[in-house]
Amino acid sequence: MSQGDVLLDVQGLKMYFPITEGILIQHHIGDVKAVDDISFTVRRGETLGLVGESGCGKSTTGRAVLQLYRPTAGHVYFDGVDLTTLKGEELRRMRRRMQMIFQDPYASLNPRMTVGDIVGEPLEVHGIAKGKEKLDRVAELLEVVGLNPYFVTRYPHEFSGGQRQRIGIARALAVNPEFIVCDEPISALDVSIQAQVINLLEDLQAQFGLTYLFIAHDLSVVRHISDRVAVMYLGKIVELADRNELYENPLHPYTQALLSAVPIPDPEIEAQRQRIILKGDVPSPVNPPSGCRFHTRCPVVIDVCKEVEPEFKDAGGGHYVACHLVH
């Protein structure tokens, strides 16, 4: 993989949600450390997959990158501009260049607005198109995502899940963004529809030169669509590598356990598949374990893991991993 120029550079991103107690006077009694000091880059035109189990902070990362949550600490450089320092109008203008496709196509479209309004609204607020021009552009966008342009006057509830997700994609594309965060865009869809949406996303990437941060928990899908893949566990990125490298040569024990859970579509090989079963539950992000966060469940844990937090660094060839056994 050539070192393309970096579009998104995330450094030391932290997103803590405060926990408070009390009704009139609120005491700050702790934080949910949803994302705790992560760094990664996304190159122009590539797809970075972000995987991990539920609650590990994938979606929070996506939202904090786009400043839908204001990060607690860290920097997010988008094409050289630090988004965390932007406010109000400046940030609003940047939104033209970065968009998001949401997980739940049922909840993320305003039920009171027609498809035409949902897709066309960003055109108007960003001063891209108005009136007739806007309608033409909306029709064009609907066509691009494989919907009948005739649907503009309909409301979201009149569509199926897959169609709604296409509306969400058309909406995100409306402003001609360079970067799109896809927050589990297919996990709420039927399996039969998932492939269609994935193919659509790939076609659009080729057509418009888009850059994706693709968040998912389906490892096969991520392998299919991503150029590089990052694995998250409890608010941290534990491993990041080129797709094939990661899937064929996982270094982190957590990645190994995750990958061993992927079924293989060949009954003979599948019968011999050795699963690494992790014991116990994911610890609470309020009080994450000391040292390596994975040490409570790690099958190959050694003493140092409980004391010292492993550094996230290159193990060779751009394969980043945070594990004492590797370094």
Partner 1 sequence: MTKYIIRRLLWNIPVLFLIAATTFGLSRALPGGPFDFAGDRSLPESVRENLKRKYNLDAPIYVQFADYMMDLMRGDLGPSFRYRNQTVNDILKQTFPISFQLGILSLALGLLIGIPAGIIAALNHNQWLDYLSSFVAILGVSIPNIVLGPFLIWIFAVKLGWFPAAQWGVDYTELYFGFIPPMNSDFWSHAALPTITLGTALSASIARLTRASLLQVIREDYIRTARAKGLPERTVIIVHALKNSLIPVVTILGPLFAGVVTGTFVVEQIFGIPGLGRHFVQSVTNRDYPVVMGTALLYSVLLVLANLFVDIAYAWLDPRIRYD
Cβ-based nearer residue to partner 1, 84 or 108: 108
- Shortest CB 167 distance to partner 1, Å: 11
- CB of residue 81 to partner 1, shortest distance in Å: 15
Residue with smaller CB distance to partner 1, 180 or 298? 180
Which is closer to partner 1, CB of 33 or CB of 95? 95
Least distance between partner 1 and beta carbon 122 (Å): 4
Nearest Cα neighbor of 19 from 287, 223, 270 is 287
The token duo for 305 is 């893991």
Euclidean distance between CA atoms 126 and 175, whole angstroms: 8
Length of the chain: 327
Comparison of 197 and 229: residue with beta carbon closer to partner 1: 197
> With respect to partner 1, which residue has the nearer C-beta, 126 or 223?
126
User: Environment class of residue 69 by beta-carbon count within 10 Å: exposed (0-12), middle (13-18) or buried (19+)?
Assistant: middle
Where do contacts with partner 1 occur on this chain (CB under 8 A)?
Answer: 24, 26, 63, 66, 68, 92-96, 99-100, 102, 104, 107-114, 121-122, 125-126, 155, 157, 168, 171, 175
CA atoms of 173 and 141, how far apart (whole Å): 8
**Nearest distance from C-beta of residue 42 to partner 1, angstroms:** 18
Query: Nearer Cβ to partner 1, position 56 or 98?
Result: 98
Strands (E), the chain: 6-21, 27-43, 47-51, 73-78, 81-82, 98-101, 179-183, 211-215, 228-233, 236-242, 313-314, 320-321
Name residue, tokens 């001063």: 127
Residue among 1 and 113 whose Cβ is closer to partner 1: 113
The least distance separating partner 1 from the CB of residue 91, rounded to whole angstroms, comes to 8
Cβ atoms 75, 84 nearer than 8 A = yes
Residue 326's nearest CA partner among 263, 251, 257, 275 is 251
CB of 216 to partner 1, least distance (A): 18
d(CA 58, CA 181): 11
Q: Where are the alpha helices (DSSP H) in 47-158?
A: 58-65, 88-94, 115-125, 131-144
Find the shortest distance in angstroms from Cβ 109 to partner 1. 6
